[in-house]
Amino acid sequence: MAYKHDYDKILTRLTNILSKLYNGEALSIKELSEEFNTSTRTIQRDFNERLISFPIYKEGKRWKMQEGFKLEKMTSIEDAVVLDIMEGLIDGSSGLFSSKAKKLLSKIKNEEYNPIYTKLDIEDISDKLAEVQQLESAIKSKLIITCTYDFGSYEKELRLKALKIANYEGFWYLLSLDTKDGHLKKYYLKNISGIKLLEEHFESDISLDKKLDNALSIWFDETVKPFEVKLLVSPKIAKYLKRKPISNSQKILDVKEDGSIELSIMITHEMEIMPLVKYWIPYIKVLEPSWIRELVEEDLKKYLS
């Protein structure tokens, strides 16, 4: 068990290391161990575990920070370090680290009183924080990774170019490029294990942000040109879809005399819209394309039988 002042030493050491990296220094584990009077194993752990979420990389025997990374956006380097390592160190700690961590948590959570209540049904991945940190580091540094993926009936080792961690309908996924065919793949985050960051960088010009903004679910297909779906919405739920559009591409085409609306959205895969249509049955109907309407009707017949 670490003594309370150990956490203060860790904080001071990590802050200094980050400051040096930010100033463009190339750092040696051996030199840092001598400077901070600690073991090389401890410094190695700093880089491989405690600072893994920062865009740092190893070149030869020295560690560097990716060019262009700006720490001044944070309140301070110290705050940035605390936010990234508090999850693993705050339990049972005290002193400078504890007070700093609790202060920051208080700002974020405002536990004393919060007049706003929200209910977000988001999957708990607290048991995957180490993997998330590794993936964040790989994404920021554009490093190829290897990992084991559980497909249910079998496991397979994958070699990927990680691009983004995304949440759809409360579930967490890793979006990445396959190193063999270059296609965008989606992997359920909790099925990923044994992540290793390779010392191989990759370049990618794929722009995910717009695709993700317009996608209704993880079913989106980046290889398919978006196509239009027209929906007829009952007056009973029209107000809800006006307040909160189905997607950024939603357009109201017509407002009927009875208050129903005809709207259109753009999708790339039928499963982006079918679950939503089924959720609102009988107050929503697919007008076009007819093949999606027929798929919904077939599923309903199976259910009713």
Which CATH number goes with the domain that contains 234? 3.30.70
Residue 120 placed within a domain: no
Please write the tens of the pLDDT for every residue from 241-266. Answer: 888 888 888 899 999 999 999 999 99
Task: Answer yes or no: do 219 and 299 share one domain.
Answer: yes
Residue with the two structure tokens 């999850």: 87
For the chain, 305 residues long, give each residue's pLDDT as a single digit of tens: 444 445 567 878 888 888 888 888 899 999 999 998 889 999 998 888 778 767 788 888 899 887 766 554 444 555 555 545 444 444 444 445 455 555 555 554 444 444 444 455 677 777 787 888 888 888 888 899 999 999 989 999 999 998 888 888 788 899 888 887 777 888 999 999 999 998 888 887 666 666 666 677 788 877 778 899 999 999 999 988 888 888 888 899 999 999 999 999 998 889 889 988 998 999 999 999 999 999 999 999 999 98
Task: Answer yes or no: do 41 and 88 share one domain.
Answer: yes
Q: Domain holding 49: CATH number?
A: 1.10.10
Residue 121 placed within a domain: no
Nearest CA-CA partner of 177 in 169, 189, 187, 168: 187
Please write the tens of the pLDDT for every residue from 39-80. Answer: 999 999 888 877 876 778 888 889 988 776 655 444 455 555
245: enclosing H helix or E strand:
none
Last residue of a domain, one of 204, 235, 264: 204
Contact of 259 with 289, CB cutoff 8 Å:
no
Nearest CA-CA partner of 247 in 271, 270, 214: 214
Task: Answer yes or no: do 132 and 78 share one domain.
Answer: no
Q: What residues pair up with 172 in beta bridges, in sequence order? A: 167
Q: Give the per-residue pLDDT at 47.
A: 87
Last residue of a domain, one of 185, 204, 223: 204
CA distance 29 to 59: 12
Task: Answer yes or no: do 35 and 77 share one domain.
Answer: yes
CA distance 214 to 266: 8
Q: Cβ contacts of residue 74 below 8 Å, gap of 6+?
A: 80
Q: Give the per-residue pLDDT at 65.
A: 84
Contact of 217 with 169, CB cutoff 8 Å:
yes
Count of helix runs (H) and strand runs (E) in the chain:
10, 12
How distant, in Å, are the alpha carbons of 103, 110, 127, 147, 206 from that of 187?
36, 34, 17, 11, 18
Contact of 173 with 212, CB cutoff 8 Å:
no
Task: Answer yes or no: do 103 and 8 share one domain.
Answer: yes
Looking at residue 91, the DSSP 8-state letter turns out to be: T
- Enclosing domain of residue 161: 126-204
Q: Give the per-residue pLDDT at 207.
A: 67
Residue count of the chain, please give it: 305
Classify residue 39 as exposed, middle or buried by CB count within 10 Å of its CB (0-12, 13-18, 19+). exposed
